[in-house]
Amino acid sequence: MPSLKELPVGMRLATALTSRREALRLLAAGIAAGLAGCSKPNEEIVPYVRVPEGLVPGDPLKFATTLPLSGYGRGVIVTAIDGRPIKVEGNPRHPASLGATDVFSEADVLSLYDPDRSRTVLKDGDIASWDQFLRALQSQRRRWTERQGEGLRLLTGRVTSPTLARQIDDLRKQFPKALWHSYASIDDEASQVGASLAYGRPLDSVPRLDRADIILTLDADPIGHGPDQIRNARGFASHRAPQAAFSRLYAVEAAPTLTGAKADHRLALHPSLMTEAALAVANALGAGLRDAAVPQEAARFLKQAADDLSAHHGAALVLGGRSLPPAAQALVHWINARLSAPVDLIEPVARNGRSLADLVSDCAAGAVDALVIVGANPAYDAPVDLDVTKNFARVPFRLHVGLYADETSGLANWHIPQAHPLEAWSDLRAIDGTASIVQPLIRPLYGARTDHEVLSTLSGGADAKPYDLVRETWNATGKPEAGADFETWWKRALHDGIVADSAAKPVAGLAPQLPPIGPSPQAGADGAIAIVLRPDPCLWDGSFGNNAWLQECPKPLTKQVWGNALALGADDAKRLTLTTGDVVTVSSGTRRIDVPVSVEPGLPKGVAHLSLGLGRRKAGAIGNGIGANAYALRTAAAPWVIADATLKPAGRREDILTTQNVVRTPDDVRELYPLKELSRLKGGQSASPAPVLPSLLPQRPRPDDGYAWAMVIDASVCIGCNACVVACQSENNVPVVGPEEVALGRDMHWLRIDVYDHGTPAAPQPGFQPVPCMQCEHAPCEPVCPVAASVHDGEGLNVQVYNRCIGTRFCEANCPYKVRRFNFRGYSDGEEYANLGLESYRAQKNPEVTVRARGVMEKCTYCVQRISAARRTAEREDRSIGPDEVRTACQNACPTRAISFGDLHQPASAINALKRDPRHYALLEHLGTRPRTTYLADVRNPAPGFDEDRA
Amino acid sequence: MAVLEHVSPPPHRWIAAERASDVEVTQAVADPIFAPVGRAWWIAFAATIPFVLWLVVTIVWIFYRGIGIWGVNSTVVWGFAIANYVWWIGIGNAGTLISAMLLLTRQRWRASINRFAEAMTLFAVAIAGIMPIIHLGRPLYFYWLAPYPNTMTLWPQWRSALVWDFWSILSYLLFSILFWYISLVPDLATMRDRAVTRGGQVLYGMFALGWQGSARQWRRLETVHTTMAALGVPLVCSVHSIVGLDFAASLMPGWAESIFPPYFVVGAMYSGFGMVVLLAVAFRWGLRLEAIITRNHFEVMGKVLLMASIVMGYSYASEWFMAWYGGRHVDRDLTAFLFTGSYAPLYWGQLFCNVLAPQALWFRAVRRSLPALVVISILINVGMGLERILIVWNTLSHAYMPSLWHVFKMTFWDWSILIAPLGLFAFMFLLFVRLVPSIAMYDVRRLTHEEHAS
Amino acid sequence: MTAPLLAEFADPDSLRVALDRVGHDGHRAIEAFTPYPIEGLDVPLGIGPSRIRLAMLVGGLAVAAFAFALQYYSAVFAYPINSGGRPLNSWPVFLLVPFEVGIFSAALAGILAFLWSCRLPRLHDPLFAIPGFERATQDRFFLLATADNNDDATLALRHLLEEAGALVVTEVRQP
């Protein structure tokens, strides 16, 4: 049963407001909800592959649904066993998923079971009941009706849900004077304004990287984390096939990104010069605007890029990041139009209300007397200069609806627990406008309510079911194909996980005009550091702050976990006499935070980088007080760049926790991560078969009965996004160890992504190499095990027998690849980190995979449970497993399809072809371990005779 | 008050007394055992108790909380349990090696030191035997290394060096006990016949097996004893070679080296001899045996140490050479890491203790000065300790995958398992000297007769 | 039948002299007891070579062979697994365990053979009853001899021993 410490933070029991009996009743209710939680929702939901009538206990059922990231939907297929969602995977039909996932959707299933989620209605932090809330609301609604909703304000996040939009409209019809504000901390306001500058109205851009031969990004990170990552990454990868079309990527950026990591040419440029860069390219394409004030080296780079772009008219694309000022955004639009670039302009997908700034000023003016905050957390992520905390306090009636009793609920006098997307009925639009239904896989664990229920309650709809609300919306707007009735249409929409042809149509026939360009920027005050703020690659905007998988997910380029650090260039670090680990006080105006410094390559002079999303105060047992809160530096005027920051040593040090190192020792980089140039690759003959090294032992022939599993990983399309890492964690019950253990050099990830840097500190050129177990045919780990816990099976798997293992750790000591992980403590066996041992998390565990005990070695098994599942099916149907029938968790997650897995004995299987690729190589081949997991070398496509950044 | 008044310069090479009759020798060795316990012994004994308790607490805590309490991590998965194991086995090797080799090579002077050298072996190997067990993640299943009929119908994996270890330690421990006991029987008979109390007579009488010292018994004893000695030498060498194979049979840089087995054996003898010197000094002083353990004994032991230190230096040098000559950058990087990496100070310390400091033994004066020998012996044992842990740390910290290069961070419990066993060792020795004649009396009797004859 | 005589000497040399003369005069030396091994007593006492070494060889080889057989059986028949692609019968490494246990069991066999050939353990013996015999393990040298069964001979033997320098000569009577 939940104990007090599991109840929302800052709650006191039994107060004047809540009688003791009632509090206990609620507690009981909470428990009941928790227990009854693992059960299907009341309404009929449609399984993806089979009907629930045929539900066999223990058999997985798969349902299509949609998960939001900053309001945009990504279609997923969720596996539920006995009514418990345990694994999220991509939905091939959904344009924002294409069958793949990102870290956030993979990790959402853990958040679902987070015991720190808000569990009851709160009144000023005390347990209250829904009825009490309704009573309180009655009086409010009376006043609203009298005054037509004057003084009533609704604050939401980014709204793409048609149902929610409809309800907001209804509400405002009912209360004409009520106002709706929306705020997303990771917004794209600048690009909206930019579009308005160019086209006279806001438009969304949907780039088509799969059709782009030349790509130039201006502080944009299309393949970095975000709602559009998967689609962009897939597009990018599909156009990077050495045999077929191969694009060239120019990246201009103020701080390292995944896009910059994969770029063929990268230019580190001060953020204040981004507009100039756009200007330079525009001029090169004949815009005829004033000369761009860029340093000479940058000018060369941009000239080269511009030439390349114009040489590939129709297949050249320029992308501007969300941090670009509107003018630059408009220039990008103009350039793309000029190049007739493969980018679709569509009507904005998200509905925007008034700005948060307006709301705050109205609050300050006392014009607001009822504020309803739905699914936003401004108290944490709003620009500090708005001083939300002070101004919201002036509003007499403050209602907060959220997943957690978080920073904002602390400001509210009423808090209502919000349903998690996996337990809610709703609908969402993807970034290209495609709509899809959100269907619950489980009844709300903590009696939480969906936004729709709350809104309909506000507008007087007596406890309407979200199911009906969503159906209403689509009954009105959904367009059944001829002859089909709504029910069939609805079932199909649920089954497919998308609403057929709901994608926004590109707006055609637009001619952009050039924006007015201001004077060239003058150099900022000397010694001042410009801090680039970016959403965190693992925690995004902070809403995932209490997710242990994401907290312990190594950041792609620095491998940092459990915190963030101020990335600083070597020169600046030297100038300020700072070294990695020194804590500095960053101050800008009156705002200041303390954060440890980490010296990183690839930053322009005078520029530092800090990621948003950490430093939560009330995230929960996992996220509280982890990292530094970059929002505390952010202003409404300059959300992405703190131009005038000064750093002062705080006189103490803090460990930067990392699970591994970025490899920069040249010999190792050359040997372990060969980097090929496309031009040199042409006419490459197929790879010679791995040389059989001389041995005194008789060479064991590969057992040719049955299957021979193998994996090939294409390093040239791996973008290091970590989706595979978290997917593996969620599929295989891989525990989280927590910061203290990481500090000792321990972690449990079965699959890690090594980063090899071929560049220089000034111009890094990192490459990503996912490293699962190599499943060596001559595995060094096996002969050294005294109890035969590490053995080879007939299909080439190097299997670990957990209950035979006695923990000598000789296998890991003798593993050249260091892919085995040891349970030094009972990480999932009674000594879990923080609250990870609590009952609710157990529901997420994959019943097909053993939960390992303390003192036992564990490792990647090629998802052997999936192989055996496939084997059972095949045997039932009296056939053998198909060539590419088994798909591992990491393979499924990969947005770029970098990971291939299959049976070597079946010529039809994809890996056989890949193993013949000229780029094919095995790690540490000379050791004679004969790995089954092998790699395709990374390929870059630098412009001929232009290598400025490989000094 | 010693029975044998020692005079210097010693009139005989191996006996520093004018006339040492059989009865005097016997009294000198046996009587301290019957005499009431002295203050020095009590103080020493009391001093060891806390260490023994500390060790017990440490082991209990390891079993209770798991080995996570050590500094071992995902990359450096081995730590002090392994290093201690190698170190203690090394100490253990010297005892049997010394007494067996010297017996075979007819080194008469061994008579004065072989008994406690063999005892040292027993205690050291016993302590070494603890380490592989507490090293395990699931120690309660250590017996799965043994082949026994079980319901899982599973067998040990005989290709693993750890299984070889299991058998070699077991064989070696039992062998050493037999070898030690068999040469103890005649002296136990002496104790039986000198015992004044009934209890003493019965106790020693039982262990003396009714020994009479008949010519037949002497003859047979010599036969079995020398044969065991002949078997003991290869056994000792094989035991530490197998310990060397724990590393050499891997494919990690810095471990997979064919020189490891011999170099481990010499290292073992090296640290073992160092320990013997320390114990000899202690005994000589504590039991007033100046007449039986002479400076000449120390001088020859000093020579052995000097030789060993040169061999060690050669072994290190050959490691560096091979790393360079082999041409793999991994090996070269590792060698560079030895001298400049995270553990560099320790490595330099190891070279100083094991190679540089013992060169002082070139000088006769140093070999004959007990303080100097004590200092050098301590340095040698520290140096060998460093060598053992660095073999584990350096390779694991700096192997093929630079992405996972990690350093070992020592915890309190690492220190515990490093230091506490020394207390247990001393504890067992103190009990030993109170119960068993710590010098082979019959051998010394023969030695004195030969000395006087010569 | 007359009881054998036990003569106590102060030093090994007089023991040797006595031993020679006992043999020379046609008496029979049964056994000598000394505090440490003394060369050259076995011939006059007629102590032949023992088979202890043979026992050790046999014991050692037998156990070593068993150990190898055990490994071979378990690795090839009982539990054949692919371990790092090594052959099931990895005989080179299977030689290590037999070597270790072989040497130990040779030693064990040797000890057992020793005890058996010396009829040990034997905690009680009439000799122990003789006063002063306890010094046999410390500093005295004893000779046990017997004459043909008539009293003169015994008397002669007693004289002989005393002349050879025996400090005490006692009759050993079977209890």
Residue C135 sits in a domain whose CATH number is 3.30.70
Report residue A521's pLDDT band, with 50, 70 and 90 as the boundaries.
Answer: confident
How many beta-carbon pairs under 8 angstroms link A with C? 36
- Please report which confidence band the pLDDT of residue A16 belongs to, taking 50, 70 and 90 as the band edges: very low
List chains touching A (3+ CB pairs under 8 A).
B, C
* C114 and C90 in a common domain: yes
> Looking at per-residue confidence, does B395 or B108 come out higher?
B395
**B231·C107 Cβ contact <8 A:** yes
In this predicted structure, what is the pLDDT of residue A13? Answer: 40
Which of residues A581 and A11 earns the better pLDDT score? A581
C102 and C131 belong to one structural domain: no
Amino acid residing at A738: G
The pLDDT of residue B19 is 65
Among chain C residues, CA nearest to B233: C103
Per-residue pLDDT, B400? 95
Q: In this complex, do C104 and B174 lie within 8 Å of one another by their Cβ atoms? A: yes
**Residue B438 clears pLDDT 60, i.e. is over it:** yes
pLDDT of residue C23: 82
Query: What is the arithmetic mean of pLDDT over B269-284?
Result: 90
- What's the pLDDT at C11? 86
Q: Taking CB atoms and an 8 Å cutoff, what residues of chain B touch C36?
A: 22, 186, 213, 218, 442-443, 445-446, 449
pLDDT at B26: 82
Distance of alpha carbon A428 from its chain centroid, rounded? 17
The pLDDT of residue A462 is 72
* Average pLDDT for A104-118: 95
Q: Got the DSSP string for B173-218? A: HHHHHHHHHHTTHHHHHHHHHH--SHHHHHHHHHHHTT---BHHHH
Q: What is the pLDDT of residue A438?
A: 96
Nearest-Cα residue of chain B relative to residue C40:
B215
Assess whether pLDDT exceeds 80 at residue B218.
yes
With 80 as the cut, is the pLDDT of residue A53 above it? Answer: no
Would you say residue A690 has pLDDT above 80? no
**Contact status, residue A473 vs residue A166, Cβ threshold 8 Å:** yes
**pLDDT, mean of residues B174-196:** 92
pLDDT band at A497 (very low <50, low <70, confident <90, very high): very high
Look at residue A938 in the predicted model and tell me its pLDDT.
Answer: 95
A549 pLDDT exceeds 90?
yes
- Identify which of B68, B142, B405 has the shortest CB distance to residue A824: B68
Helix %, strand %, coil % for chain B, to 5? Answer: 75, 0, 25
Give residue A700's pLDDT band: very low, low, confident or very high (50, 70, 90): low
Interface confidence, given as ipTM, is 0.91
Q: Does A821 touch chain B (CB under 8 A)?
A: yes
What pLDDT is attached to residue B2? 47
Question: Does B158 contact C71 at a Cβ distance shorter than 8 Å?
Answer: yes
By CB atoms closer than 10 A (0-12, 13-18, 19+), residue A138 is: exposed
Instruction: Inform me whether the pLDDT recorded for A173 exceeds 50.
Output: yes
Distance in Å, alpha carbon of B18 to nearest chain A alpha carbon: 58
Share of chain B above pLDDT 70, in %: 95
Q: What are the distances in angstroms from CA A626 to CA A81, A107, A615, A739, C50?
A: 33, 18, 5, 10, 80
- The pLDDT value recorded for residue B439 is 86
Band (pLDDT 50/70/90 cuts) for residue C47 is confident
Asked whether the CA dihedral C34, C39, C41, C42 is positive or negative, the reply is: positive
Query: Predicted confidence band at A1 (pLDDT cuts at 50, 70, 90)?
Result: very low
**Out of A195-209, A677-691, C61-75, C90-104, which region has the weakest mean confidence (pLDDT)?**
A677-691
Phi, psi of A754 (to 5 degrees): -75, 145
pLDDT at A340: 95
Q: What is the CA radius of gyration of chain C?
A: 26
Q: Which of A514-523, A635-644, B84-93, B104-113 has the lowest mean pLDDT?
A: B104-113
Indicate the average pLDDT of chain A.
90
| Residue A194's pLDDT band (cuts 50, 70, 90) | very high
CA distances in angstroms from A813 to A65, B392, C116, listed in the order given: 44, 9, 49
**DSSP E strand boundaries for B60-119:** none
Select the more confidently predicted residue: B25 or B302. Answer: B302
Q: Answer yes or no: is pLDDT of B282 > 70.
A: yes
Mean pLDDT of A638-650: 93
CA B400 from centroid of its chain's CA atoms: 34
- Determine whether the interchain pair C86/A783 forms a contact, defined as Cβ–Cβ distance below 8 Å: yes
Residue A31 has pLDDT above 80, yes or no: no
Q: Tell me the β-bridge partners of A251.
A: A217, A266
pLDDT bracket for residue B103 (50, 70, 90):
confident
The mean pLDDT of A335-346, rounded to a whole number, is 95
- 3-state SS class at B236: helix
- Please compute the mean of the pLDDT values over residues A281-294 and round it to a whole number: 92
Which residue in C has a C-alpha nearest to residue A698's C-alpha?
Answer: C87
With cut-offs at 50, 70 and 90, classify the pLDDT of residue A679.
confident
Size (chain B), residues: 454
A146-165 pLDDT, tens digit each: 999 999 999 999 999 999 99
Indicate if C113 and C75 belong to the same structural domain.
Answer: yes
Rounded Cα distance between A402 and A606, Å, is 39
pLDDT over 60 at C175, yes or no: no
pLDDT the model gives residue B43: 93
Best of C83, C89, C96, C97 to mutate (most A CBs within 10 Å, chain A): C83
CA–CA distances in Å: residue B60 to residues B47, B63, B417, B428: 21, 5, 12, 20
Q: How far is CA C158 from CA A358, A691, C4, C161, C166, in A?
A: 132, 91, 10, 5, 9
pLDDT value, residue B365: 93
Q: Is the pLDDT of residue A501 over 90?
A: no
Confidence (pLDDT) at A693:
66
Do C104 and C71 share a domain, yes or no? yes
Between residues 760 and 779 of chain A, which touch chain B (CB distance below 8 Å)? 771
The whole-number average pLDDT for the span A752-776 is: 95
Nearest alpha carbon to residue A593 among A635, A639, A552, A632: A632
A787-812: per-residue pLDDT in tens?
999 999 989 999 999 999 999 999 99
By DSSP bridging, strand C168-171 and strand C5-9 are antiparallel
Res A60: pLDDT: 86
Give alpha helix (H) positions in B209-257: 215-248
Distance separating alpha carbons of residues A104 and A545, to the nearest angstrom = 11
Whether C126 has a pLDDT exceeding 70, the answer reads yes
At the topology level, CATH places domain B17-140+158-453 in Formate dehydrogenase/DMSO reductase fold (1.20.1630)
- pLDDT category at A47 given cuts 50, 70, 90 is low
Total domains in chain C come to 2
| Residue A41 confidence (pLDDT) | 64
pLDDT at A951 over 50: no
Q: Is the peptide bond before A2 cis (omega within 30 degrees of 0)?
A: no
Residue A11 has a pLDDT of: 40
What percent of chain A clears pLDDT 90, i.e. is strictly above it?
A: 80
Provide the pLDDT for residue A331: 96
Range scoring the smallest mean pLDDT among A196-200, B24-28, B363-367, B426-430: B24-28
What mean pLDDT do residues B368-380 have? 95
Q: What is the pLDDT of residues A572-594, one digit of tens each?
A: 999 999 999 999 999 998 999 99
| Gap between the Cα atoms of A609 and A606, Å rounded | 10
Over residues A846-869, the pLDDT tens digits come to 999 999 999 999 999 999 999 999
3-class secondary structure for A542-592?
CCCCCCHHHHCCCCCCCCECCCCCEEECHHHHHHCCCCCCEEEEEEECCEE
Chains that touch C (3 or more CB pairs under 8 A): A, B
The domain locations on chain B are 17-140+158-453
Q: Are residues C58 and C114 in the same domain?
A: yes
B163 closest CB neighbour out of A663, A786, A812: A786
In this structure, the answer to whether residues C61 and C103 fall within a common structural domain is: yes
Minimum mean pLDDT range among A15-24, A258-267, B332-341: A15-24
Cα–chain center distance at A935: 25
**Nearest CA to CA, how far is B315 from chain A (Å)?**
23
Identify the closest residue of chain B to A855 by CA–CA distance: B137
CA quadruple B14, B15, B16, B19: dihedral sign: negative
Residue, of A705 and A72, whose pLDDT is higher? A72
Q: pLDDT tens digits for A126-153?
A: 999 999 999 999 999 999 999 999 999 9
Instruction: Please check the confidence at residue A21 and state whether its pLDDT lies above 70.
Output: no
Enter the DSSP assignment of A612: S
CB atoms within 10 A of CB A643: 15
**What's the pLDDT at A565?**
97
| Residue of chain C nearest A789, judged by CA positions | C83
- Tens digits of residue pLDDT in A869-903: 999 999 999 999 998 899 999 999 999 999 999 99
pLDDT > 90? residue A836 = yes
Confidence of residue A947 (pLDDT cuts 50, 70, 90): low
Q: For residue C45, give its domain range.
A: 5-49+124-171
Q: What chains are in contact with B, requiring at least 3 Cβ pairs below 8 Å?
A: A, C
- pLDDT range class, residue A26, cuts 50, 70, 90: low
Task: Report the run of H or E that residue B30 belongs to, with start and end.
Answer: helix B22-34
| B window 258-287, beta carbon within 8 A of C | none
Q: d(Cα B65, Cα A576) in Å, to the nearest integer?
A: 45
Q: What is the pLDDT of residue B288?
A: 80
What is d(CA A797, CA A932) in angstroms, rounded to the nearest whole number? 9
Query: Which pLDDT band holds residue A480 (cuts at 50, 70, 90)?
Result: low
